[in-house]
Chains A and B, each alone.
Chain A
Amino acid sequence: MRKSSVFFIYLFIQIVLLGSMFTHASYKQQTGLSHLQEKVNLVQRLGLTDLCLFTEASYTRHLSLADFHTAFQDSPMALEHFPSGSLVIRPPMDKKMYENVD
């Protein structure tokens, strides 16, 4: 078989796999609807405000409700040193009405 034919077969397989990646994603979105609904119900029923992503410090657990100044919050030596602090950027804060208070 010609080398170019082998390459085109290889390319075809990869493109089919790429297409199946989108099909799989769409299938998982459909089959995962019940789980998604379960989470939506919990958020609605309990009035949850945040995702449970970082549980290492109290102020990283509820990012949207945390105080803006977190250093020294948990103990005198607790500088902002938790690893999640390097993952999350400060949220955009335009239109805040309590800027002067907080």
Chain B
Amino acid sequence: MRMWIERHRNILDFTLSSLVRRKRKNAALVSVYTLIVFLLASVLLFTYALREEASILLKEAPEMIVQRLVAGRHDLIPVTYLERIEAIRGVSSVKERLWGYYYDPVVGANYTLMVAEDQDVAPGLIAVGEGVSRTRLASPGDTIEFRTYQGVTIELEIRKTFSSESGLVSSDLVLISEDDFRKVFGTPKEYATDLTVRVRNPKELPTIAMKVAEILPDTRQVLREELLRTYDAIFNWRGGILLAILFGAVLAFIIFAWDKASGLSVEEKREIGILKAIGWETSDIIRMKFWEGLVVSLSSFLMGILLAYIHVFFTSFMLFEPVLKGWAVLYPAFKITPFIDGAQVASLFFLTVVPYTVATIIPCWRAAIVDPDSVMR
């Protein structure tokens, strides 16, 4: 066993010396390889952590949302619908929600205005998310003006701002009293934006949704399961720009592996020829190339994944931030909780390290079985 280890260490020593001899070429190779792993790992780590957090948060979302549709578009729902849904067996509570979008022409941002039963939110007072506070440079005690549907400007005082840690759900929120909400949007008293339904037994939810659809045919029912599915599918690898990033990275990796598998350079062939001439066996040369592939791919993989972790969870996905921000003026400055999927890291390992290592062995075996004299000539 000791002999076996010593033999491999000697081959590794020689391999490392050989890599150092062509240090510029190999440094470039390791840098590009690391970059590919970094890109792939950054996207995988970010999307997984975001999906995990969404699934934890949205487990507490309403079990069902009932919205009214008029001419195929979402419309205000009469409050009388509330009693008709409450009468369905199995429904434990139905609440009306009042919410809407407000475009602030001062900064050019969209806010989500929402009525809440909150001790800090009384007529004339609002609670705002961290993004609103940051964009408007306003803190508790300051006022924000809102233009009502009649063109009158009203000023509401900020009583509270939500912490930046809750930005993922509250960044653009403005909690407002019911009176002020109706004053801003002109929503009649007998209407709400939508209704949220809680049921006694979650297994009955599809049946209750069917009953709601039967008694209120002009409504659509969005179940919590569908909210969860929406965020499970978000940033899915099949989606838009993510597919472009992944496709580009995978293609670059295939070109790499192909370059390795398609053949050796004249210099490498000469080296193999000399080694065979001085008594190296074919198996030793294959071992040497195995170590070469492993040194390059393992170092790049580990470095790439560590840099990706720092990029996603310490710098808040800095390089991809412009893509996520889009044209938004008010962007949540949130930090996501690092959730890592071990299986995903393992798959990335098997997809990058193994094929590359194997790809380096094949051409070497081909060169090693040729007569050293013809290789060196």
CB distance from A47 to the nearest CB of B (A): 5
Chain A CB within 8 A of B264 CB: no
Q: A43-B169, A51-B58, A87-B234 are in contact. List 11 more A-B contacts (CB 8 A).
A: A24-B338, A50-B227, A51-B54, A52-B131, A53-B234, A54-B326, A55-B329, A56-B326, A91-B233, A92-B233, A101-B69
Shortest CB-to-CB span from A71 to chain B, Å, is 13
Smallest Cβ distance from B196 to chain A, in angstroms? 5
- How far, in Å, is B81 (CB) from chain A's closest CB? 15
**A4 adjacent to B12 (CB under 8 Å):** yes
Complex-state Cα separation, A55 to B331, whole angstroms = 7
Sampled A-B contacts (24; CB under 8 Å): A4-B9, A4-B16, A7-B295, A11-B299, A21-B305, A25-B338, A28-B337, A29-B339, A36-B337, A38-B165, A47-B61, A52-B129, A52-B168, A52-B169, A55-B331, A58-B101, A63-B230, A83-B323, A87-B324, A97-B209, A97-B210, A97-B221, A98-B69, A101-B72
Task: List A residues 1-21 near B (Cβ within 8 Å).
Answer: 2-4, 6-7, 10-11, 14-15, 17-18, 21
Query: Is B95 located at the chain interface by the 8 A CB criterion?
Result: yes
Q: A49, B227: Cβ atoms under 8 Å? A: yes
Which single member of B61, B129, B230, B295 contacts A91 (CB below 8 Å)? B230
Cβ B239 vs Cβ A14 within 8 A: no
The reply to whether A102 and B72 form a contact with Cβ atoms under 8 Å apart is yes
> A88 — which chain B residues lie within 8 A by C-beta?
234-235, 239-240
Convert B112-147 into 0s and 1s, putting 1 for each residue whose CB lies closer than 8 angstroms to a CB of A: 101010000000000001010000000000000000
B326 & A52 in contact (Cβ 8 Å cutoff)? no
Q: A24-B338, A52-B168, A88-B235 are in contact. Are A43 and B74 (CB under 8 A)?
A: no
Contact B13–A3 (Cβ < 8 Å): yes
Please tell me the number of chain B residues within 8 Å of chain A, measured between CB atoms: 90
Q: List residues of B (55-79) whose CB comes within 8 Å of A's CBs.
A: 56-58, 60-62, 65, 67, 69, 72-74
Distance in angstroms between the alpha carbons of A35 and B170 in the assembled complex: 12
B153 touches A (CB below 8 Å): no
Which residues of chain A come closer than 8 Å to B326, judged between CB atoms? 54, 56, 82-84
Residue A48 CB within 8 A of the other chain: yes
Q: How far does the alpha carbon of A92 sit from the alpha carbon of B226 in the complex, in Å?
A: 8
Q: List, in ascending order, chain B residues with CB within 8 A of A14's CB.
A: 299, 302-303, 306
Q: Are the CB atoms of A61 and B172 closer together than 8 Å?
A: yes
B57 touches A52 (CB 8 A): no
Judge whether A79 is part of the interface by a CB distance below 8 angstroms: no
Measured between beta carbons, the chain B residues less than 8 angstroms from A28 are 313, 337-338
Cα(A4)–Cα(B156), bound, Å: 69
Q: Are B239 and A89 interface neighbours, CB within 8 A?
A: yes
B163's nearest neighbour on chain A, judged by CB, is: A38
Max count, chain A CB within 10 A of own CB: residue among B12, B65, B168, B169: B169
CA A54 to CA B234, docked complex, whole Å: 12
Residue of A nearest to B212 (CB): A97
B85 within 8 A of A: no
The chain B residue with its CB closest to the CB of A60 is B326
User: B181: shortest Cβ distance to chain A, in Å?
Assistant: 13
Residues of A within 8 A of B295 (CB): 7
Tell me whether A39 and B299 are in contact (CB under 8 A): no
- Per-residue CB proximity of A66-102 to B under 8 Å, as 1/0? 0100000000000000111111111110010110011
B161 to chain A, nearest CB (A): 13
CA distance A32 to B227 in the complex (A): 24
Q: Which 9 A-B pairs have the closest CB atoms?
A: A83-B326, A89-B239, A86-B240, A98-B220, A25-B338, A14-B302, A35-B165, A56-B328, A3-B16
Q: Taking the complex as formed, is B42 at the interface, i.e. its CB lies under 8 A from any CB of chain A?
A: no
What is the CB-to-nearest-CB distance from A75 to chain B, in angstroms, rounded to a whole number?
Answer: 12
The answer to whether A45 and B172 have CB atoms under 8 Å apart is no
Interface contact A91-B221, CB-CB below 8 Å: no
Does B110 belong to the interface (CB within 8 Å)?
yes
Tell me whether A63 and B234 are in contact in the complex, defined as CB-CB below 8 angstroms, given that A43-B58, A87-B241 are known contacts: yes
